């Protein structure tokens, strides 16, 4: 198998395509209109603000509306349990940050904000390395700390935090009560059921794309659907509804998801094989998806025609799925049992997670801490009061896991300009905004907030209107004009500090993500190859958990590589490297490892211990090299085992990653980069 090399492709007239860092500014995320979420947004911040005004306490109403607004940013599609976690955890972190900020403001001088924000910023950036939910929670903690120290609102610190948390809790309650039409079925497991059905639909798409150019992208969507379903079922067990029985429909749904996991693994081996399958085989999972949605039987499935080991494994998985669906079709509940594919042991988070002490965590933390503390110092020099806008803006801009810095800066400024103009226009047309009109503006903007997540500039404009409405209610009626200058200063400072050489080297943050992927793959291979005498459900379940962790790490590495490719180029942005080609090679590494495990499980002779150890060691050494940005010279991986095609592919792709990530670095020998046989 050859090593993919990415070449620059022009248009038909020979023109070079626009650079990614420029096109990313205008990129729009496509998604269905979230009508139910828009209704929740209209009923969240606006009514809370109106209640505070009607009660004669606008300050608590502003804080409650602020908590509802930040929670609304996280009101994304998914199950109700997913909403509880993805909204609740950031809300709790935001309340903690607001409490800390208010305590600092009450008990110390104003300049104490600079070291406090440096510390909170470092923790916020470091926590971002742990995943998307932790990143959102860390951002809300940092923003709320800034607001707690800078927004002049009366009341004790604990009351401010409680008002903020109650606003987020109100949106959580709306999330539980107002559901999408699709989730209103006869059971309480509609969201989880739809997530599992989506896995079978994505599997059908992936099988239909086998052997064609759309196969890798279809495989990525399949893995993403599997991870989303796994999260939904894991939360279903961790957050049971009152009166739910552990041996009821949830267990039957988990067994059906176990069949999907086995089919996904076999489909990845088919992708590695690169052969198309008949249309009736590709469409077979559609009937399984329909059966999941209705709770009925699987129906007719394609007959097995095994002609390769990979097709044999897939046909066996289809037969096992048929048995599972027959057993779980409208039957009385059976006692729960721990099966090889039970999602309780296939958690996407079963593998190692990056922590605070990793190079990426340190780089994230230092970058966020410097940007936020520098902007806070500048703001304190410029303002006696209301200085919080600069560091709060910097907090939204600098988070490295939330998109390319240049794109976010441009869209942040453009969105702020649009939001200020809309707010000023409303004041001019309406002859000033009385408090009832402010509430009406907040209701409309709150309804637009879930829709605004399609583009960062749109989201910024909506949030700007909301925040200006809040500060107008709190008594700062001249805030609109100063926000433009403050936003411009924050954008300029973040661009300057965020692109310092020690903070902007993608080899640290992107290389770390690929290092995690290779280490997860190493653990997976060692588990399936180093113990030939081990068998049974527990061993199989652990292998599935390790494989799931490897694909989760791969998805995070791919996102980091795409962000690095869209960063602003220049002398301070680090040496250019083709991270897209590294991503392709890393995907092939994990796919080949999966194919190796499946082939061994279905009768292919097991590689020798020496060959397995050589491949595992190569994965570990290359991960170490990526972790430190190749600052320590290491030789390229050697040739792969001649008797194992899948492991030979692993070594070939490792050699390609080594070559791509060391190209152009000084002091690197090229003799060890000879092509593999």
Q: How many CB atoms lie within 10 A of CB 624?
A: 15
> Hey, is 14 helix, strand or coil?
coil
Q: Which of 448, 469, 495 is the last residue of a domain?
A: 495
pLDDT of residue 120: 93
- The answer to whether residue 186 sits within a structural domain is no
In this predicted model, what pLDDT tens digit does every residue of 75-91 receive, in sequence order? 887 778 888 888 999 99
- The answer to whether residue 79 sits within a structural domain is yes
Q: Quick one: pLDDT band at residue 432, thresholds 50, 70, 90?
A: low
* C-alpha torsion sign, points 596, 598, 603, 606: positive
Q: How far apart (Å, rounded) are the C-alpha atoms in residues 549 and 544?
A: 9
**303 and 386 part of one domain:** no
> Kindly report the CA angle at 301 between 299 and 304, in degrees rounded to 5?
155
pLDDT of residue 438: 87
**453 and 473 part of one domain:** yes
**474 and 515 part of one domain:** no
Q: How far apart (Å, rounded) are the C-alpha atoms in residues 131 and 103?
A: 29
**Nearest C-alpha neighbor of 52 from the set 158, 217, 157, 167:** 167
Q: Lowest-pLDDT range, 194-203, 408-417, 576-585?
A: 576-585
**560 and 617 part of one domain:** yes
CA of 6: how far to CAs of 23, 468, 555, in Å? Answer: 19, 47, 19
**471 and 519 part of one domain:** no
**653 and 551 part of one domain:** yes
Q: How far apart (Å, rounded) are the C-alpha atoms in residues 346 and 354?
A: 19
> Do 133 and 85 meet the contact criterion of CB atoms below 8 Å apart?
yes
**311 and 369 part of one domain:** no
Token digits of residue 82: 């997913």
> Hey, is 46 helix, strand or coil?
helix
Q: Examine the pLDDT at 571 and tell me if it is beyond 90.
A: no
- The answer to whether residue 17 sits within a structural domain is no
Q: Which of 495, 515, 537 is the last residue of a domain?
A: 495
In this predicted model, what pLDDT tens digit does every residue of 1-53 receive, in sequence order? 333 434 444 444 456 666 666 777 777 777 778 888 899 999 999 999 999 99
Q: How far apart (Å, rounded) are the C-alpha atoms in residues 11 and 28?
A: 22
In this predicted model, what pLDDT tens digit does every residue of 615-672 receive, in sequence order? 999 999 898 888 876 666 566 677 767 778 888 888 999 988 888 887 655 544 443 4
CA max distance for the chain: 82
Q: Examine the pLDDT at 107 and tell me if it is beyond 70.
A: yes
User: Domain range holding 372?
Assistant: 34-179+355-495
- The answer to whether residue 20 sits within a structural domain is no
CA of 370: how far to CAs of 332, 351, 357, in Å? Answer: 60, 31, 18
Question: For residue 172, which phi and psi values (nearest 5 degrees)?
Answer: -60, -40
pLDDT of residue 521: 93
Token digits of residue 51: 């209640």
* C-alpha torsion sign, points 609, 615, 616, 617: positive
**97 and 202 part of one domain:** no
Q: What is the mean pLDDT of the chain?
A: 79
> Do 295 and 253 meet the contact criterion of CB atoms below 8 Å apart?
no
Q: Which of 323, 345, 367 is the last residue of a domain?
A: 345
- Domains in the chain, number: 3
- The answer to whether residue 551 sits within a structural domain is yes
Q: In sequence order, which residues have a C-beta less than 8 Å from that of residue 139 and are 6 or more positions away?
A: 90, 124, 128, 395, 396, 399, 402
- The answer to whether residue 3 sits within a structural domain is no
**229 and 101 part of one domain:** no
Q: How many CB atoms lie within 10 A of CB 485?
A: 12
pLDDT of residue 663: 64
Percent of the chain with pLDDT over 90: 19
Q: Rounded to an integer, what is the distance from CA 190 to the centroid of its chain?
A: 23
- The answer to whether residue 184 sits within a structural domain is no
**254 and 367 part of one domain:** no
pLDDT of residue 159: 92
In 328-400, alpha helices (H): 359-382, 389-398
Q: Quick one: pLDDT band at residue 151, thresholds 50, 70, 90?
A: confident
In 431-478, alpha helices (H): 435-448, 456-473
**169 and 201 part of one domain:** no
Question: For residue 335, which phi and psi values (nearest 5 degrees)?
Answer: -60, 140
Question: For residue 279, which phi and psi values (nearest 5 degrees)?
Answer: -60, -35
**Nearest C-alpha neighbor of 419 from the set 497, 481, 504:** 481
In 502-578, alpha helices (H): 506-529, 537-565
Q: Quick one: pLDDT band at residue 145, thresholds 50, 70, 90?
A: very high
Q: Give the pTM.
A: 0.78
In this predicted model, what pLDDT tens digit does every residue of 359-414 receive, in sequence order? 667 777 888 888 899 999 998 988 767 788 889 888 888 875 667 778 888 888 99
CA of 251: how far to CAs of 247, 329, 349, 469, in Å? Answer: 6, 12, 20, 48
In this predicted model, what pLDDT tens digit does every residue of 439-497 receive, in sequence order? 999 999 999 999 888 888 899 999 999 998 888 887 776 777 788 888 888 888 888 87
Q: Lowest-pLDDT range, 73-87, 125-139, 196-210, 333-347?
A: 333-347
> Do 573 and 499 meet the contact criterion of CB atoms below 8 Å apart?
yes
pLDDT of residue 605: 84
Continuous segment of H or E residues that includes residue 488:
helix 479-498
pLDDT of residue 186: 38
- The answer to whether residue 256 sits within a structural domain is yes
**57 and 174 part of one domain:** yes
């Amino acid at each position: 198998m050859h090593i993919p090399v990415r070449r620059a492709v022009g248009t038909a007239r020979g023109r070079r395509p626009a650079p990614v860092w420029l096109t990313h500014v205008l990129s729009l995320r496509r998604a269905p209109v979230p009508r139910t979420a828009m209704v929740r947004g209209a009923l969240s911040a606006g009514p809370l603000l109106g209640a505070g005004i009607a009660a004669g306490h606008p300050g608590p109403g502003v804080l409650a509306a602020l908590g509802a607004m930040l929670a609304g940013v996280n009101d994304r599609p998914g199950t109700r349990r997913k909403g509880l976690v993805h909204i609740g955890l950031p809300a709790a972190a935001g309340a903690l940050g607001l409490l800390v900020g208010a305590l600092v403001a009450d008990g110390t001088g104003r300049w104490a904000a600079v070291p406090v924000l440096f510390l909170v910023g470092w923790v916020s950036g470091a926590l971002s390395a742990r995943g998307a939910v932790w990143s959102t929670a860390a951002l809300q903690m940092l923003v709320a700390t800034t607001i707690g120290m800078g927004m002049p609102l009366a009341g004790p610190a604990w009351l401010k935090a409680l008002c903020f948390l109650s606003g987020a809790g109100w949106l959580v309650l709306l999330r539980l009560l107002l559901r999408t039409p699709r989730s209103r079925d006869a059971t309480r497991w509609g969201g989880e059921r739809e997530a599992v059905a989506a896995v079978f639909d994505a599997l059908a798409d992936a099988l239909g794309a086998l052997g064609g150019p759309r196969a890798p992208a279809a495989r990525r969507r399949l893995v993403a659907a599997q991870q989303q379903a796994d999260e939904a079922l894991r939360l279903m067990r961790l957050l049971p509804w009152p009166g739910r029985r552990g041996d009821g429909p949830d267990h039957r749904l988990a067994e059906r998801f176990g069949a999907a996991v086995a089919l996904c693994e076999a489909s990845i081996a088919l992708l590695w094989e690169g052969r198309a399958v008949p249309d009736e085989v590709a469409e077979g999972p559609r009937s399984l998806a329909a059966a999941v949605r209705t709770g009925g039987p699987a129906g007719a499935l394609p007959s097995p025609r095994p002609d390769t080991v990979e097709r044999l494994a897939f046909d066996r998985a289809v037969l096992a799925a048929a048995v599972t669906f027959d057993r779980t079709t409208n039957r009385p509940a059976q006692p729960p049992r721990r099966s090889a594919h039970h999602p309780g042991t296939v958690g996407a988070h079963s593998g190692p997670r990056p922590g605070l002490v990793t190079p990426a965590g340190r780089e994230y933390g230092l970058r966020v801490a410097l940007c936020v503390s520098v902007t806070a110092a500048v703001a304190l020099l410029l303002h006696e009061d209301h200085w919080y806008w600069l560091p709060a803006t910097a907090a939204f801009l600098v988070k490295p896991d939330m998109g390319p810095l240049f794109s976010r800066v441009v869209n942040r400024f453009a969105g702020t300009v649009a939001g200020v103009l809309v707010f000023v226009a409303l004041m001019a047309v309406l002859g000033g905004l009385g408090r009832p009109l402010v509430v009406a503006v907040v209701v409309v903007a709150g309804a637009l907030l879930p829709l605004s997540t399609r583009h960062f500039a749109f989201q910024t404009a909506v949030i700007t209107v909301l925040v200006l409405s809040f500060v107008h209610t709190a008594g700062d009626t001249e805030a609109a004009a100063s926000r433009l200058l403050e936003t411009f200063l924050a954008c300029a400072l973040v661009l300057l500090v965020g692109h310092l050489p020690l903070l902007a080297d993608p080899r640290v943050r992107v290389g770390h993500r690929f290092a995690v992927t290779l280490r997860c793959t190493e653990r997976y291979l060692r588990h399936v190859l180093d113990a030939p005498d081990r068998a049974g459900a527990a061993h199989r379940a652990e292998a599935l958990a390790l494989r799931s962790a490897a694909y989760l790490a791969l998805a995070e590495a791919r996102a980091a590589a795409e962000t690095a490719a869209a960063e602003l180029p220049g002398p301070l942005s680090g040496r250019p490297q083709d991270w897209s080609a590294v991503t392709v090679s890393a995907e092939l590494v994990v796919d080949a490892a999966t194919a190796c495990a499946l082939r061994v499980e279905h009768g292919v002779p097991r590689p020798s211990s020496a060959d397995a150890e050589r491949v595992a060691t190569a994965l570990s050494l290359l991960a170490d090299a990526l972790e430190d940005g190749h600052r320590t010279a290491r030789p390229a991986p050697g040739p792969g085992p001649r008797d194992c095609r899948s492991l030979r592919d692993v070594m070939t792709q490792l050699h390609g990653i080594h070559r791509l990530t060391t190209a152009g670095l000084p002091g690197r020998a090229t003799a060890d980069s000879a092509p593999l046989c």
